[in-house]
Chain A
Amino acid sequence: AQSVTQPDIHITVSEGASLELRCNYSYGATPYLFWYVQSPGQGLQLLLKYFSGDTLVQGIKGFEAEFKRSQSSFNLRKPSVHWSDAAEYFCAVGGQTGANNLFFGTGTRLTVIP
């Protein structure tokens, strides 16, 4: 069965610092992997996705993520964090044949300090 683990509940970084949010997944076949962001008062917004091909994927807002099959990971990165990046970040896995639902992690809350 699919599952997603986000080990970090809360991360605090300084504005301008680099960021890496961890995500580990469990899935029997090639996963479809996603990162969503939820800003305060907003819905979940898709940042980026991985289906196949290049394991380094680029997303919106300057984010990228790297799929590492050997580590069952799909970590999200950003080289320089902006104050507006403060939000909740969710990793999700999908792709079960015939299904279109997602399995989410518990989320990582990002705080950005000046």
Chain B
Amino acid sequence: EPEVTQTPSHQVTQMGQEVILRCVPISNHLYFYWYRQILGQKVEFLVSFYNNEISEKSEIFDDQFSVERPDGSNFTLKIRSTKLEDSAMYFCASSMVRESTGELFFGEGSRLTVL
């Protein structure tokens, strides 16, 4: 069964360092997303991406964040200068269509720990 894969599964970094989280969405999907979950809190929407550009983003997704689809398969989330409060589980997701159905397929998550 097709699945969304994410790497790394866990990354530990020093505050101020750049981090890139990688995702391989399901191959025929067109919409890509990043969500995050700070420990004990809600899963929060960060950004959606379609046709090589951001289609929506939340207030969380500030200038420190960027997304990219550098080739036909990978979808990356970059945090330019990490802060302690960026420590969270980051989930990538993809979907076939946009139509507000919300049928997202999620990866297993990348846990980011900022020290």
Binding site for B on A (CB under 8 A): 4, 32, 34, 36, 41-46, 49, 51, 90, 92, 94-107
Contact = CB atoms under 8 A, between A and B. Distances in A.
A103 B42 CA distance: 8
Closest 7 CB pairs of A and B: A94-B102, A104-B43, A44-B106, A101-B45, A43-B106, A43-B108, A43-B107
28 contacts: A32-B101, A32-B102, A41-B108, A42-B108, A43-B91, A43-B106, A43-B108, A43-B109, A44-B43, A44-B91, A44-B93, A44-B104, A51-B101, A92-B102, A95-B102, A96-B100, A98-B100, A99-B56, A100-B48, A100-B95, A100-B101, A102-B43, A102-B45, A102-B104, A104-B35, A104-B44, A106-B41, A106-B42
Interface string B32-50: 0101000011111100100
Given A99-B56, A100-B100, A104-B44, 15 more contacts: A32-B100, A43-B91, A44-B106, A46-B105, A49-B101, A90-B43, A94-B100, A97-B100, A100-B102, A101-B33, A102-B45, A103-B42, A106-B40, A106-B41, A107-B42
A44 B93 CA distance: 9
Contacts of B106: 36, 43-45
Given A43-B3, A95-B100, A103 B109 contact: no
A105 B37 CA distance: 11
Interface residues of B, number: 30
Nearest to A3: B42
Contacts of A104: 35, 42-44
A97 B45 CA distance: 16
A29 to B, nearest CB: 11
B98 interface: yes
Contacts of B75: none
B102 A105 contact: no
